[in-house]
Chain A
């Protein structure tokens, strides 16, 4: 793996630092000195975000390797939003959501189908061959794509890992939510792995900007192998993540504090009430 040390593979001048800086400033403003272990999640989110663009993942994803694009995609859609949600303080987020200005957002977030469709939809939508190629070739469209991944990821994970615990889906629906999401990305993964169509034609004939193409081919990453790897990455890591989340949800379910029938009626804790 000597080629990883090549200087051209690291994009230290990436504008993602700007976003990371803004996010960090925002986060510092939110916590305002009230530190907790949650900050570690935030740090992880920033590291993942930076890694997705600065490290060889970002450079290779930019026109060279479909599989690197897939790793970037998964970091933006699954890792960064999840870490960010886990890093937010519950009371603060709850206070925002109760403001009348954000009522529409609260209503939106109370509908699990929307989160599911955003998570799965962004995966499927951006892998329609023409769109995938266009977003890889056009810088502006690439930015739009990255942004949609990030927002869709937030909406997707909100249902399971919302900072406001009472707004999360109940455990059994969460399991169905995650399992069906796993099925969705399994299907796409199978399709990408086994199809003979070039899912993202931009990667089939890469323009060799920085002269590393032969190195990649020597490492065995030919376009066909690359796409197969990308498909499997689309399939196995997200499903492993979802299954891990299912384990987490089940643990919560078995150890949840006594939930007397009366308590759910007296407090506005259910999704249905949050919707109104």
Chain B
């Protein structure tokens, strides 16, 4: 295990062996399924995109350094802020956090790898694919320019004729699939792969936060995917989901985007909370103060984060009632977040603090994140939001959260865990230089933006008039941005130098507490030779200080030894994600079809044959029964019965699909196509995606049948069958909802 930079074979002439060694080395990295290597790949890819996204930010700051500057054209400026936002969120923030989770979650819970190593590799490779799709747009003549949240109708075909927006959609869909797959992997790993004695109430807080983030990702990303699918159908197939001119609703895009977008904020900050919760106790030489508070309040954040999205839309005119409720919800969410700040502070209280670079970043996190958090609470008040939304105050607010919070947490984690990843220490001297550059840069750039915002400077405008004070404040911001860039260069230099000449770290250079420090640095491929016994939340501390062991003084709930089956948990997590996707499609159907208005076009009552589809529905629903019998036969070892009933299931599924083809062809011949009206668009989208899921299910069933015929699938391996069963029954349940809502007209 070593870094790509570290053990690149030295150039020894142009010999064949060296070439072969390079090829093997490269293939080793490209084809790896080791969670540690994949974690490193995630982090390195994120760093590449950090350079790109940071470069875009610098270009914008140069443009804004002078009033009425002409460095960037208005069009180029739009592309820069869109690509900067999209890159930083989807190609830097999420991947680097997933990378750290990938590397450290299995190590911290004493597992050999993640639950599904090959799925892990797929998740990673979707990241560069998505990044390339997004950046390929530059070659089509223009990059996406509708902002990172691509508000409709600006993102619809009428206002965005070039292909850039399509690349944005496809890139994000690709990244979304990868993120959900990675999240499912972390989710199942934490549930099913913990070492003996490691109860869920004992996992290190970084693991717990990654677990919470995984749940957030699984349930939030499909909302974005559903919205992207509809936007793509608008753009390519001529539907009008988000085009008000043709009856659609632009507000709906805002709802869907922020149903994803607000949990996304927590996806970006919760892992940083976890990192801080590892770093502060270690460098204060104390256990975390109030473990259950920190962990429990994060669970509450996860629950609340789905109910506050509309505070991003106060200016959209939702009505006073909705505004009040969402304002209250948003104020509430400050509580579980604020609690943690007290926990971290109390952890330091009375501790023996070592101000390493890692700890410095953690302390700065507390200060800067609180600033960002408090301005966030201000925005929960509707009148303040109306006054300040879409000004630089917002830009200042969320950069304090994302840099002061996420990035500083990441830097703390980088200095803390670099020795474990590479076996060498980073230079503390360079680290402190980087720290001060970043602290100065962050505050210079974004503190002044609060004032600019209060003075009324709108965000996303390529330039500004020479109002009193605006130029000076903007110049301070630009200088700050370059300070942060310099800080990043120092970090890269530090990494390059330390990889070759850094001090050898040893297993546990910081005297840390958790399991990743129980193995060598860097860890071997199999992670652990022997796993220390886990009796408390700080197993390595207990091992090194038996006389002061936590397990003697502080009782934490014992492990009950139960570990749910991996395949089945994967099935449930996937189904939960898909449920959110269908939920949004169905909500769209209800929204557009429960209105009274123009009834001239086709509607459900006019064109759908309820009886016929009802018959085909019976085929689909009975396939659930046959599947259940097949599964039972397999568990009882009745191979013949298993194959017979599984074959029947496939047949019934195909009958249903056949019915759908019949229905579609009749509708299309009757002139009911997806671009006809909103009923047709929503109908084809919902039933089409459902049909796609039935098809995917049939593929899985055929694979099972083949495995059954080859006598590979036996009673001991029935877990796989159960996992596919979760999916197949889910598809049927979705159809029941679809049939009730569309064909029977419930809720209208």
Give the interface of A toward B (CB within 8 A).
Answer: 128, 172, 175, 179, 182-183, 186-187, 190-191, 193-197, 225, 228-229, 232, 235-236, 239-240, 243, 246-247, 250-251, 253-256, 258-261, 264
A196 neighbours in B (Cβ, 8 Å) = 594-596
Per the bound structure, the CA–CA distance linking A183 and B555 in Å amounts to 35
Q: Are B292 and A247 in contact (CB under 8 A)?
A: no
Interchain Cβ contacts under 8 Å between A and B, 28 examples: A128-B746, A172-B200, A175-B299, A179-B303, A183-B306, A186-B306, A187-B583, A193-B321, A193-B322, A195-B590, A196-B596, A225-B321, A228-B319, A232-B322, A232-B325, A236-B325, A236-B328, A239-B307, A240-B332, A246-B303, A247-B300, A251-B296, A253-B557, A254-B201, A256-B557, A259-B560, A261-B558, A261-B559
Q: Are B557 and A258 in contact (CB under 8 A)?
A: yes
Kindly identify which residue among B299, B329, B560, B587 contacts A250, using a CB–CB cutoff of 8 Å.
B299
Q: Are A197 and B748 in contact (CB under 8 A)?
A: yes
A242's nearest neighbour on chain B, judged by CB, is: B303
A182 neighbours in B (Cβ, 8 Å) = 303
Per the bound structure, the CA–CA distance linking A183 and B724 in Å amounts to 25
B contacts with A, residue count (CB < 8 A): 35
Q: Does B158 contact A (CB under 8 A)?
A: no
Write out, one digit per residue, whether chain B residues 573-586 have a CB within 8 A of any chain A CB (1) or not (0): 00000000001000
Per the bound structure, the CA–CA distance linking A260 and B594 in Å amounts to 54
Per the bound structure, the CA–CA distance linking A175 and B200 in Å amounts to 14
> Closest Cβ of chain A: how far from B563's Cβ, in Å?
12
A250's nearest neighbour on chain B, judged by CB, is: B296
Write out, one digit per residue, whether chain B residues 324-336 have a CB within 8 A of any chain A CB (1) or not (0): 0100110010000
Q: Are A258 and B558 in contact (CB under 8 A)?
A: yes
Per the bound structure, the CA–CA distance linking A196 and B307 in Å amounts to 22
Q: If the complex has contacts A186-B307, A239-B307, A264-B560, are A254 and B748 also in contact, measured as CB distance less than 8 A?
A: no
Kindly identify which residue among A191, A193, A194, A254 contacts B296, using a CB–CB cutoff of 8 Å.
A254
Q: Does B304 contact A (CB under 8 A)?
A: yes
Q: Are A243 and B200 in contact (CB under 8 A)?
A: no
> Closest Cβ of chain A: how far from B537's Cβ, in Å?
11
Per the bound structure, the CA–CA distance linking A182 and B303 in Å amounts to 9
A227's nearest neighbour on chain B, judged by CB, is: B321
> Closest Cβ of chain A: how far from B201's Cβ, in Å?
6
A240 neighbours in B (Cβ, 8 Å) = 332
A254 neighbours in B (Cβ, 8 Å) = 201, 291-292, 295-296, 557
Q: Which 3 A-B pairs rank lowest in CB-CB distance, beginning with the nearest? A: A254-B292, A250-B296, A261-B561
Per the bound structure, the CA–CA distance linking A196 and B560 in Å amounts to 51
Q: Does B747 contact A (CB under 8 A)?
A: yes
Kindly identify which residue among B303, B555, B590, B748 contacts A258, using a CB–CB cutoff of 8 Å.
B555
Task: Name the residue in A187, A193, A196, A253 with the highest tally of chain B Cβ atoms < 10 Å from its Cβ.
Answer: A253
Q: Are A191 and B590 in contact (CB under 8 A)?
A: yes
> Closest Cβ of chain A: how far from B193's Cβ, in Å?
17
B590 neighbours in A (Cβ, 8 Å) = 191, 195
Kindly identify which residue among A235, A243, A256 contacts B304, using a CB–CB cutoff of 8 Å.
A243
B595 neighbours in A (Cβ, 8 Å) = 196
Give the interface of B toward A (CB within 8 A).
Answer: 200-201, 291-292, 295-296, 299-300, 303-304, 306-307, 319, 321-322, 325, 328-329, 332, 555, 557-561, 583, 587, 590-591, 594-596, 746-748
Per the bound structure, the CA–CA distance linking A78 and B558 in Å amounts to 33
Kindly identify which residue among B292, B299, B322, B596 contacts A246, using a CB–CB cutoff of 8 Å.
B299
Kindly identify which residue among A128, A229, A261 contacts B560, using a CB–CB cutoff of 8 Å.
A261
A256 neighbours in B (Cβ, 8 Å) = 557
B555 neighbours in A (Cβ, 8 Å) = 258
Q: Are B321 and A229 in contact (CB under 8 A)?
A: yes
A255 neighbours in B (Cβ, 8 Å) = 292, 557
Per the bound structure, the CA–CA distance linking A79 and B558 in Å amounts to 34
A253 neighbours in B (Cβ, 8 Å) = 201, 557
> Closest Cβ of chain B: how far from A183's Cβ, in Å?
8
Q: Are B300 and A246 in contact (CB under 8 A)?
A: yes
> Closest Cβ of chain A: how far from B748's Cβ, in Å?
7
A226's nearest neighbour on chain B, judged by CB, is: B321
Kindly identify which residue among A195, A229, A247 contacts B594, using a CB–CB cutoff of 8 Å.
A195
B560 neighbours in A (Cβ, 8 Å) = 259, 261, 264
> Closest Cβ of chain B: how far from A249's Cβ, in Å?
10
B191's nearest neighbour on chain A, judged by CB, is: A172
B200's nearest neighbour on chain A, judged by CB, is: A172
B299 neighbours in A (Cβ, 8 Å) = 175, 246, 250
> Closest Cβ of chain B: how far from A201's Cβ, in Å?
14
Per the bound structure, the CA–CA distance linking A95 and B136 in Å amounts to 71
Per the bound structure, the CA–CA distance linking A171 and B319 in Å amounts to 38
Per the bound structure, the CA–CA distance linking A230 and B516 in Å amounts to 52
New A-B pairs, 18, CB < 8 Å, besides A236-B307, A253-B201: A128-B746, A175-B299, A195-B590, A228-B321, A232-B321, A232-B322, A236-B325, A236-B329, A239-B307, A243-B300, A246-B299, A250-B292, A250-B300, A253-B557, A254-B295, A254-B296, A256-B557, A258-B558
Task: Name the residue in B295, B306, B325, B594 with the highest tally of chain A Cβ atoms < 10 Å from its Cβ.
Answer: B325
> Closest Cβ of chain B: how far from A191's Cβ, in Å?
7
> Closest Cβ of chain A: how far from B731's Cβ, in Å?
19
Kindly identify which residue among B292, B557, B591 contacts A251, using a CB–CB cutoff of 8 Å.
B292
B201 neighbours in A (Cβ, 8 Å) = 253-254
A178's nearest neighbour on chain B, judged by CB, is: B303
A253's nearest neighbour on chain B, judged by CB, is: B201
Per the bound structure, the CA–CA distance linking A183 and B746 in Å amounts to 19
Per the bound structure, the CA–CA distance linking A253 and B413 in Å amounts to 29
> Closest Cβ of chain B: how far from A62's Cβ, in Å?
23
Per the bound structure, the CA–CA distance linking A187 and B200 in Å amounts to 31
Q: Are A247 and B296 in contact (CB under 8 A)?
A: yes
> Closest Cβ of chain B: how far from A269's Cβ, in Å?
12
